[in-house]
Structure 1
């Protein structure tokens, strides 16, 4: 059962990250201050990110990524909330009870 949940979380995370649908995408002030062109390029890298390894994805949920954009280190991560965004999701594998939030930030903002 746990493997099914992991597979489902990974599938939902990848689909939402690659399309920016069925989720909210938040960029931090540090990312926004890089300018519109930078933001567009960084978001494109988030969408196409595929460098998951046992070191950076130990639970195989594809819930975090890190890459360099120019001179800055960028992190992105998923958080899972209930549908009212008031508490943690009761089941991140169930999209009917989970609101996904993808946050893109400078590493120094983490």
Structure 2
């Protein structure tokens, strides 16, 4: 697979998790969890709807991290990759069979 196609597939899988909660786990930091429910909902909505990827915030084209602003709060979301099993399986972010995605949504000051 060419590097361009590889990155496009990683971005597709990352977008699937970020926008629809499919293909991985979603975690929010203690700071986000402590916010009122309506504010948490607005933050999750902002992360799901984010589409302003560019070379400054997504230099590798993988849609794996960005910053969103919800009035009064700067939010960072980041997707990390882990082996799909507890052993030392080879990690391939283009292969959901070997890779578990985890998106973490946090206040910028928690990063």
Do both share a fold (TM > 0.5)?
A: yes
Normalised by the length of structure 1, the TM-score is: 0.92
* Matched residue, 2:51: 50
Q: CA deviation at 1:84?
A: 2.9
Report SS of the residue matched to 2:31.
helix
**CA-based RMSD:** 1.6
**Whole-Å separation in 2 of the counterparts to 1:85 and 1:107:** 30
Q: Which residue number in structure 2 is paired with residue 74 of structure 1?
A: 75
1:96 aligns with 2:97: yes
- Deviations 1:49-85 (CA, angstroms, capped at 9, x unpaired): 0011100000000001101111110000000001136
TM-score, L = length of structure 2? 0.92
Unaligned runs of 5+ in 2: none
| Structure 1 residues not aligned, in runs of 5+ | none
Query: d(CA) in 2 for partners of 1:27 and 1:88?
Result: 27
Q: Does 1:63 align with 2:64?
A: yes
What is the total number of aligned residue pairs between the two structures?
Answer: 110
1:28 and 2:21 are equivalent in the alignment: no
